[in-house]
Amino acid sequence: MLGTRAPTYQIPGCQAQALASPALCLVSGYFVPGPREIFETMGEFVDGLKFTGGSYSLMPRSSIKELIDMAHKHDVYVSTGDWAEHMLHEGPTAFKQYVEECRDMGFDTIELNVSSLKVPEEALLRFIRLIKSVGLKAKPQFALKFDSADIPADGNRAFGAYIVPLPRKSEIIEDVDLLIRKAERCLEAGADIIMIDADDVCNYADSLRTDIVAKIIGRLGLDRTMFEASSSNTSEWFVKRYGPRVNLFIDHSQVMNLECLRGHNLGRNRRPFHGSMAHCLW
């Protein structure tokens, strides 16, 4: 579908971005597989499918259901992408209706991009409880940087303290401790896993914030966190440092490469199983 962003595929311990197309595309001499090809050729490594950027909002319901059913047939769970924030402009009951419709369509997980939602923490926790109350999983996504209005004043930084919302500001501040405390409260409210945005943390292998990654994993736990990894070098660093069970969000072209890494094939001459792949938008 023209102008939409691509859904993503999650494999055990990682997630991979790919197209929501049932057919193969030919781009610059390379074949780009759609969901069916991903499942049939790499299905044993696929754990979940994610629609990014609200791409499902531009797709026919029948196509969405077909993709969801295909995923479930391969024992793959299905997750939404960044779209919940758009529901906040539709009225007080819109978010509840959105959650219920996701459940009825067959989605298994709803993602909440905390930076995009821009709601008080108590509202975020209510959203998580609502998602859990209808039998779905909740996955909040956090960035390292916050609006200065989100950072409590001195003396009011206790875990779980309610902070009266302040007007939004243009000043952006980095605060890993605030990220961790907010994530801890989300987990206590029932969130299943915390996604960590790659920006300013692990976007590039040569500028990894290793101290921040270690602090987040140390406080939240390896099994409760997932990190975006934009390159195979970044993925390799995570696997070498934290082992094959680390949760990574990766591009679909890295699926087999990462599986080799997780199998401890870390030689200098290691090559991806399927070579390079190209993206195209529908």
Residue with tokens 């859990």: 132
The C-alpha atoms of residue 187 and residue 190 are separated, in whole angstroms, by: 5
Which of 57-61, 77-81, 266-270 is predicted most confidently?
A: 77-81
SS3 (DSSP) at 142? strand
At 144, the amino acid letter reads L
At 92, the amino acid letter reads P
SS3 (DSSP) at 30? strand
Number of H helices, E strands in the chain: 10, 13
Phi-psi region of 66 (alpha: psi -120 to 50; beta: other; left: phi over 0): alpha
Span 122-144, pLDDT tens digits? 999 999 999 999 999 999 999 98
DSSP-derived letter for residue 194 is: E
151 pLDDT higher than 80: no
CA distances from 106 to 56, 68, 72, 102, 185 (A): 13, 7, 9, 6, 27
Q: What is the pLDDT of residue 191?
A: 98
Span 231-278, pLDDT tens digits? 888 888 999 999 988 998 877 777 778 888 887 554 444 443 333 222
Fold assignment, 8-262: TIM Barrel (3.20.20)
- Sequence-ordered list of residues with C-beta below 8 angstroms from that of 211, at least 6 positions apart, any chain: none
pTM, two decimal places: 0.76
